[in-house]
């Protein structure tokens, strides 16, 4: 395949796929008994999350049975998610916080900020148990994913355990859906003077970065746009893996995405 075709199907360049394999699965090329190599497992996983989410179609594309795709998705997502602490890092030390503030102030106007936080819904199949808890306000089954990002458009935290019916403020931060705290700035609900209106205007403009990050990750990994069709216990690892791979793509400076018409997208849309 050409590099453009690889990036269309696997969402990374050939070099990126190789580096991703080495980072998360290691260099194993064992194929005894027809086993897939680690690189083949990564390719299968990337095609699955870069697809609307049908394992049969991915299996036919890569030449394996649907059950193999299912096992690979479960294994690879668990391996990637297990390394989240290396790739999704919230600033904790004084030095890390000051550096995050410096990055934000170099690009944005809100003083002392270290990033932005919001929630996005990821559609899932009807759960076998407690399914009513997963119906969100728009009427479909989802996981309510909360994440924060920094000025480099990298995710610094992600929480994937909340059913879609849970309100954003039960989880944490961001827009008017959250409550103000000493460490979280939210808009004024009543804007009866210019100071409050200007504050809200700046905050709203600055926090668009998290919406942009959600748009980027859903564009790179379309499974998050459509519906995650895996066992319920696998869903958190799969979603977390996508957020980790978003940061890995930033690390590799692979911001370009090739769409289905083989066009390179460099300006990625807001949240879909």
The pLDDT value given to residue 173: 36
Of 178, 234, 11, 206, whose CA–CA distance to 109 is shortest?
206
Average pLDDT, the chain: 85
pLDDT tens readout for residues 62-110: 888 999 999 999 999 999 999 999 999 999 899 999 999 999 888 888 8
Q: Where are the domains of the chain?
A: 88-230
Q: Is pLDDT above 70 for 32?
A: no
Q: Is pLDDT above 70 for 250?
A: yes
The pLDDT value given to residue 28: 66
pLDDT tens readout for residues 166-214: 766 544 634 555 666 677 778 787 788 888 888 888 887 888 899 999 9
For residue 8, what pLDDT band results from cuts at 50, 70 and 90? confident
Q: How far is CA 141 from the centre of its chain?
A: 18
């Amino acid at each position: 395949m050409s590099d453009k075709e690889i990036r269309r199907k696997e969402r990374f360049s050939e070099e990126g796929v190789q580096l991703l394999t080495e980072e998360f699965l290691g260099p194993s090329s064992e194929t005894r008994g027809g086993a897939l190599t680690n690189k083949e497992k990564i390719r299968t996983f990337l095609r699955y999350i870069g697809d609307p989410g049908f394992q049969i179609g991915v299996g036919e594309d890569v030449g394996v049975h649907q059950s193999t795709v299912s096992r690979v998705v479960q294994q690879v997502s668990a391996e990637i998610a297990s390394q989240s602490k290396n790739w999704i890092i919230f600033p904790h030390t004084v030095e890390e916080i000051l550096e995050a503030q410096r990055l934000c102030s170099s690009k944005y106007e809100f003083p002392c900020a270290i990033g932005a936080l919001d929630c996005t819904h990821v559609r899932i199949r009807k759960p076998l148990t407690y399914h009513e808890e997963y119906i969100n306000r728009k009427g479909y089954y989802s996981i309510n994913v909360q994440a924060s990002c920094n000025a480099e458009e990298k995710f610094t935290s992600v929480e994937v355990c909340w059913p879609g019916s849970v309100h954003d403020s039960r989880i944490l931060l961001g827009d008017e859906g959250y409550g103000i705290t000493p460490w979280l700035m939210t808009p004024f609900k009543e804007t009866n003077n210019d100071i409050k209106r200007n504050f809200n205007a700046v905050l709203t403009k600055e926090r668009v970065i998290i919406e942009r990050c959600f748009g980027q990750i859903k564009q790179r990994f379309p499974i998050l746009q459509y519906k995650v069709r895996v066992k319920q216990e696998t869903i958190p690892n799969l979603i977390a893996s996508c957020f980790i791979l978003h940061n890995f793509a930033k690390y590799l400076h692979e911001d370009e995405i090739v769409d289905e018409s083989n066009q390179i997208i460099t300006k990625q849309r807001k949240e879909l």
